[in-house]
């Protein structure tokens, strides 16, 4: 993979989240502070967080990121879907760093290369680097990490166009191998059901979150196949669960759920948001 020296500029600051650094920090901090967590019997290995605009899913995301406020990871792997029409099945950034209004986060190029090689061994293909991508689902998590994690960290960004079970499992295994000796945190970026009425959304989301809580990536795929659950980041969740299990994760705790209807007042076409943590 060829290096790309330029910092990736944010295409969504000012729309999906606040562009003013002070207001952004204040809004993110408020979401973190309002998250009342249960007792967490273990150390977080991974979190699952939503990726809508901060206005909509920020309060739910606050629960996931509040769970890692005491951690000091050296590298954070964010696994997200790619919503845009790239041909490659797995993508990463060609930039050397991500920029947000809160500062710059360097990309961990050495680990990214190792992950690429581990994927090629398993799948026959690796990560395709892209410059100036418009994807929101990875970037939207960055301001939360910049406020929740108080130490300097680097980023391992992966975006999935192919969310098949084969790709997700191989990515999970490759992530675990790449991060086995690292002080790392995994983040799966996903929203849940899309554009159902509130009652249907709650039922579908409850089924998906139950499968997440049972640490069962295969069941997530079965629920989607049966039309009983949805997640736009299905492959991201599954990959992170497989990786977290290999890295010592033992239990998953669902922390919060809500829908967009609770923000917009429209309960006929809602999007579901969930937050969870994997503990070891």
What pLDDT, in 10s, does the model give residues 21-67?
999 999 999 999 999 999 999 999 999 999 999 999 999 999 999 99
Q: Is the pLDDT of residue 155 over 50?
A: yes
Euclidean distance between CA atoms 64 and 228, whole angstroms: 24
The backbone torsions φ and ψ at residue 38, rounded to the nearest 5 degrees and listed phi first, read -75, 175
Taking a C-beta distance cutoff of 8 angstroms, is the pair 105, 98 a contact? yes
Euclidean distance between CA atoms 1 and 24, whole angstroms: 33
Tell me which residue range forms the domain holding 58: 7-279
Whether residue 224 lies inside any domain: the answer is yes
Taking a C-beta distance cutoff of 8 angstroms, is the pair 252, 170 a contact? no
Whether residue 75 lies inside any domain: the answer is yes
Domain count, the chain: 1
| Beta pairing partners, 7 | 97
Q: Is the pLDDT of residue 112 over 50?
A: yes
Mean pLDDT of 130-145: 97
* Residue 245, pLDDT score: 97
Mean pLDDT of 228-239: 97
123-129-133 Cα angle (round to 5): 125
CATH number of the CATH domain containing 175 = 3.40.830.10
Q: Which of 27, 15, 23 is nearest to 62 (CA)?
A: 27
Q: How far is CA 127 from CA 86, 130, 153, 193, in A?
A: 12, 9, 21, 28
223 burial via Cβ count (<10 Å: 0-12, 13-18, 19+): buried
Whether residue 1 lies inside any domain: the answer is no
Whether residue 2 lies inside any domain: the answer is no
Q: What is the mean pLDDT of the chain?
A: 96
pTM, to two decimals:
0.96
Q: How far is CA 173 from CA 56, 164, 246, 272, in A?
A: 32, 14, 7, 28
Whether residue 18 lies inside any domain: the answer is yes
Mean pLDDT of 221-248: 97
**Measured torsion, CA atoms of residues 177, 242, 146, 148, in degrees rounded to the nearest 10:** -120
Mean pLDDT of 131-149: 97
Q: How far is CA 106 from CA 6, 75, 76, 245, in A?
A: 11, 10, 11, 27
Whether residue 188 lies inside any domain: the answer is yes
Tens-digit pLDDT profile for residues 67-104: 999 899 999 999 999 999 999 999 999 999 999 999 99
203-31-11 Cα angle (round to 5): 90
Whether residue 99 lies inside any domain: the answer is yes
Whether residue 138 lies inside any domain: the answer is yes
* Residue 2, pLDDT score: 42
pLDDT band of 1, cuts 50, 70, 90: very low
């Amino acid at each position: 993979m060829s290096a790309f020296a330029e910092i990736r500029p944010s295409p969504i600051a000012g729309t999906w989240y606040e562009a003013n650094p002070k207001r952004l920090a204040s809004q993110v901090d408020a979401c973190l502070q309002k998250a009342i967590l249960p007792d967490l019997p273990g150390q977080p290995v991974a979190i699952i967080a939503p990726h809508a605009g901060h206005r909509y899913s920020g309060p739910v995301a606050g629960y996931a990121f509040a769970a890692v406020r005491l951690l000091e990871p050296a590298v954070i792997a964010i696994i997200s879907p790619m919503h845009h029409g790239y041909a490659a099945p797995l993508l990463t950034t060609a930039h050397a760093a991500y920029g947000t209004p809160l500062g710059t986060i360097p990309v961990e190029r050495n680990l990214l290369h190792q992950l690429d090689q581990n994927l090629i061994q398993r799948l026959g293909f690796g990560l395709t680097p892209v410059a100036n991508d418009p994807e929101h689902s990875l970037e939207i998590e960055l301001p939360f990490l910049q406020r929740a994690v108080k130490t300097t960290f680097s980023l391992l960004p992966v975006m999935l166009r192919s969310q098949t079970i084969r790709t997700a499992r191989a990515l999970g295994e490759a992530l675990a191998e790449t991060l086995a000796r690292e002080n790392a945190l995994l983040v799966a970026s996903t929203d849940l059901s899309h554009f159902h009425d509130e009652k249907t959304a709650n039922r579908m989301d409850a089924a998906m979150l139950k499968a997440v809580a049972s640490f069962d990536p295969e069941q997530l795929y079965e629920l989607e196949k049966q039309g009983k659950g949805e997640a736009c980041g299905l492959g991201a969740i599954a990959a992170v669960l497989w990786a977290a299990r290999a890295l010592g994760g033992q239990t998953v705790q669902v922390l919060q759920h809500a829908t967009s209807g609770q923000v917009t007042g429209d309960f006929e076409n809602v999007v579901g948001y969930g937050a969870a943590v994997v503990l070891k």
